[in-house]
Amino acid sequence: MTSLILRGFFAVSLLLAIAIGIDWNRVPELLSVRTLGAIAVMQVFLLIGTYLCSYRHAVLVRTPPAPVMSCWMGLMLSAGFNLAIPGRIAELIKATYLRNKHGIPLSSGTAAIVVERLYDVLIVASIGLVGAYGVDYLNPWLLVATLSFVCLIIVFLVPLGQLAIRFLDNRKFRLCMFIVANLRHMEATINPRVSLIVFGCSAFAWLLHYAGLWLFFQALPGHGLTLWQVAIVFTAIIFAGAIPALPAGIGLVQAAVIATLMGFGKDFNEALSLSLLLFLSEIFLSAVITPFLLMTQSAGIMPLIRDVFSKERAIGGQA
């Protein structure tokens, strides 16, 4: 509870500091019809990318694939909850939703999420690496190391999982059993065809996201960036937003974008205004869609909790 209060206090303080620091006279310039049009086009790109990610999730959680629309709803619920819940815990909503709606085991959902994140890092780091080579003063070696590490994990994921299963299989701890269930699902699901589908969906989804971001900057008079610079901003937004801190990466995303844009010669007020506009563009879809989904869909959290407690009571009764 204390940690939650401190996070909340930090978030409010950060928002107040940002509000004080903004040059409000420049806001009308940024909120032109052209800018709003670019934000709208960006939402179309993000929506298509979200559908591709939903199909990717459908392929990974079950054979034959789960219903794509259900996966899309789970993904949007997860994104919406991420706006309010810190620590990236909201990722689990995709798994709890499909468990409740289609009876897909929780371990299958979490295994799919792990595989998705590996491919996400692969694609986003690749885009960032291209940008780093286009911007002379940036050192790309951290991205090269990240890419090399992730590629090794993806290539050897199934063999490493099989090795871990041998080590954990006879252990009766709940966590070990859950990890083994995740690894067995990966072993049963991942093959060359599925890997190609996951790679293709991930690549197209993130490239659409990147294209939408580039259009956003091109629509701002006097604020345009090169393709290389947009790649760096894109990578900063995604990796900063993925850090498990405050909900939706608020604060970290702004700091990463501001630092990146100031490195490209933007002044602080301009970088701050652009970072906020970008942040609103990134969260717009989930902020609008999730409340409507919550009116008709269960995230599956309470059914999971009830099942866990009923199993505990059954074990206690047997003891």
Alpha carbon 172 to its chain's center: 32
**61-69: long-range contacts, CB 8 A cutoff, minimum separation 24:** 61/98, 61/104, 61/108, 61/109, 61/111, 61/112, 62/102, 62/104, 62/108, 63/188, 63/189, 66/98, 66/102, 66/104, 67/102
- When pLDDT is cut at 50, 70 and 90, the band that residue 319 belongs to is very low
Instruction: Kindly tell me if the per-residue pLDDT of 85 is higher than 80.
Output: no
Of the two residues 42 and 4, the one the predictor is more confident about is 42
- For 222-263, write each residue's pLDDT tens digit: 667 888 889 999 988 888 877 766 665 666 777 888 888 888
Mean per-residue pLDDT for 261-283?
82
**What Rg, from alpha-carbon coordinates, does the chain have?**
21
pLDDT score, position 12: 55
Of the two residues 33 and 117, the one the predictor is more confident about is 117
- When pLDDT is cut at 50, 70 and 90, the band that residue 96 belongs to is very high
Cβ-Cβ contacts under 8 Å for 127 (sequence gap 6 or more) = 206, 207, 210, 231, 234, 235
At 296, which amino acid appears? Answer: T
- When pLDDT is cut at 50, 70 and 90, the band that residue 295 belongs to is confident
pLDDT score, position 6: 55
Stated pTM of the model: 0.85
Instruction: Kindly tell me if the per-residue pLDDT of 81 is higher than 50.
Output: yes
Backbone angles phi, psi at 251, to 5 degrees: 95, -55
With beta carbons less than 8 A apart as the criterion, state whether 224 and 217 touch: yes
Which of the listed ranges 2-11, 161-170, 306-315 does the model predict with the highest average pLDDT? 161-170
Average pLDDT, the chain: 82
- When pLDDT is cut at 50, 70 and 90, the band that residue 317 belongs to is very low
pLDDT score, position 248: 57
- For 22-36, write each residue's pLDDT tens digit: 555 555 555 667 777
Least confident of 5-9, 37-41, 63-67, 90-94: 5-9
3-state SS of the chain?
CHHHHHHHHHHHHHHHHHHHHCCHHHHHHHCCHHHHHHHHHHHHHHHHHHHHHHHHHHHHHCCCCCCHHHHHHHHHHHHHHHCCCCCCHHHHHHHHHHHHHHCCCHHHHHHHHHHHHHHHHHHHHHHHHHHHHHCCCCCCHHHHHHHHHHHHHHHCHHHHHHHHHHHHCCCCCHHHHHHHHHHHHHHHHCCHHHHHHHHHHHHHHHHHHHHHHHHHHHCCCCCCCCHHHHHHHHHHHHHHHHCCCCHHHCCHHHHHHHHHHHHCCCCHHHHHHHHHHHHHHHHHHHHHHHHHHHHHCCCCHHHHHHHHHHHHHHHHHHC
Question: Which of 242, 41, 42, 51 lies closest to 128, judged by CA?
Answer: 242
pLDDT score, position 200: 96
Of the two residues 207 and 246, the one the predictor is more confident about is 207
Which of the listed ranges 10-19, 20-29, 281-290 does the model predict with the highest average pLDDT? 281-290
With beta carbons less than 8 A apart as the criterion, state whether 77 and 294 touch: yes
Mean per-residue pLDDT for 205-213?
93
Instruction: Kindly tell me if the per-residue pLDDT of 187 is higher than 90.
Output: yes
Instruction: Kindly tell me if the per-residue pLDDT of 15 is higher than 60.
Output: no
Question: Using CA atoms, how far apart are residues 276 and 30, in angstroms rounded to an integer?
Answer: 11
pLDDT score, position 316: 43
Percent of the chain with pLDDT over 70: 80
Question: Using CA atoms, how far apart are residues 241 and 88, in angstroms rounded to an integer?
Answer: 9
